[in-house]
Amino acid sequence: MQRLAAIEKQILTSPDQQISLTDPDSRSMATSGRGSGVVGYNVQVAVDTKHHLIVTHEVTNVGTDRSQLANVAKETKTTLAATSLDVVADRGYYSSGQILACEEAGITVTRPKPMTSNSKTELRFGKQDFRYILEEDVYICPAGERLAYSFTTEENELVLRRYSTNACQRCAIKQSCTTGKERRITRWEHEHLLETVQRRLDEHPEKMRQWRETVEHPFGTIKARMGATHFLMKTLPRVAAEMALHVLAYNLTRVMNIIGIKPLMAAMRA
Ligand code: SF4
C-alpha cells in the first residue's frame, strides 16, 4: 500500500497524470473502444497512393491523432519537394486548427467529420441538419426558421460565432432539437475550410477506401514482421530508431518488389 501511495503521488505530480513503470516514455494511446487505451507509442506514417511507399514517418507518445496531421503533412510536402499536396486522413485527425495549418501550407485535406455532437447521438437534430446561407450569414433550421448571428466567443484559441433565433420557444418540433430554452449553432471563423473538406469527401467517397487500402498495406506488413511483441526497445529515442529501421526495411523490400533488385542496386550506386 505504501508503494502504491508513493506511485499515486508521482502520478498526481506528472504533467499528464500518467506514469509507466515498464517504459517511462510510453503513454496510454486512445483506441476505438470508449475509455480504453493501449500503453505504447503513436506511429504516424504518410504513404503514397501509387506505390504504397512510406514517404515520412514519426514516432510520438502523444495519446491521440488530433494534433498530428499538419506536422506529418508538411514534412511529407518538404520530403517530396512538392508545391502542393493532397492528403487523405482518417476520422481521428479532426482538428480545426490542423486543417487551417494544412490549408495555409498549400495542402488540401480530405477526411470525414467526426460525429461529436451530443444532439446527434441523442437523436436530436445535429448541426448538419442546419443549412448555412453564406450571402446572408444565417443558418436555416429544420423548422425553416433563420438563426442569425448573435455573438462571438473564443474557445481553445478558436474564434467562434454563435447563431440563434427567438422562434424556438413556440417551435412545434423543439423536443427534437434542444433541451434548452433555444438552440444555438456555433460557427468557427474559418468554418468554410471544414465545409470544403467535407465537400471533397462527398464528391469523392471512394477516397476513404483508397486511404484504407494505402495505409493498411505498410502497417500490416510491418506488424507481421514485428510479430506479437511489436516494439522491442524502450524509451522514445530507441523506439523511434527501431521504427526507422522497420520503415527502411519495408521501403527497401517494397522497391525490390516494384522495380526488382538489380535496378534498385543500380539506382543506389548511381
Ligand atoms: S427549436 Fe429552434 S432551432 Fe430548433 S427547429 Fe425549432 S425553431 Fe428551429
Residue-wise pLDDT tens digits, 62-77: 887 777 899 999 999 9
Q: Is the CB of 167 under 6 A from ligand 1?
A: yes
Q: Is the CB of 201 under 6 A from ligand 1?
A: no
Q: Looking at residues 185-204, what average pLDDT do you find? A: 90
pLDDT over 90 (residue 199): no
Q: How far is CA 142 from CA 128, 149, 151, 172, in A?
A: 10, 17, 22, 11
pLDDT tier, 36 (very low <50, low <70, confident <90, very high otherwise): confident
CA of 145 to the centre of ligand 1 (A): 7
> Angle, to 10 degrees, between the axis of helix 96-104 and the axis of helix 69-80?
20
pLDDT tier, 118 (very low <50, low <70, confident <90, very high otherwise): low
Cell of 206: 471512394
Residues shown for the chain: 270
Which one of 9-23, 25-39, 146-160, 239-253 scores highest in mean pLDDT? 239-253
**Range list of β-strands (E), 48-84:** 54-60
State how far the Cα of 55 lies from the Cα of 91, in Å rounded to an integer.
21
Q: Looking at residues 133-151, what average pLDDT do you find? A: 95
pLDDT in tens, 156-181: 888 999 999 999 999 999 999 999 99
**In this structure, are residues 252 and 260 in contact, taking their beta carbons and an 8 Å threshold?**
no
Q: Is the CB of 141 under 6 A from ligand 1?
A: yes
For residue 122, the model assigns a pLDDT of 67
For residue 231, the model assigns a pLDDT of 92
**Do the bridges between strand 37-40 and strand 158-164 make them parallel or antiparallel, or are there none, so unpaired?**
unpaired
CA of 172 to the centre of ligand 1 (A): 8
Q: Is the CB of 177 under 6 A from ligand 1?
A: yes
pTM of the predicted model, to two decimals? 0.80
Tally DSSP H helices, then E strands, for the chain. Answer: 8, 11
CA of 176 to the centre of ligand 1 (A): 9
pLDDT tier, 228 (very low <50, low <70, confident <90, very high otherwise): confident
Q: Which residue has the cell 522514445?
A: 236
CA of 163 to the centre of ligand 1 (A): 12
Report H helices in 188-235.
191-203, 206-226
State how far the Cα of 191 lies from the Cα of 112, in Å rounded to an integer.
15
pLDDT over 80 (residue 78): yes
**In this structure, are residues 102 and 109 in contact, taking their beta carbons and an 8 Å threshold?**
yes
Q: Is the CB of 142 under 6 A from ligand 1?
A: yes
Q: Is the CB of 158 under 6 A from ligand 1?
A: no
Ligand 1 mutation pick, 171, 179, 185, max ligand atoms within 8 A of CB: 171
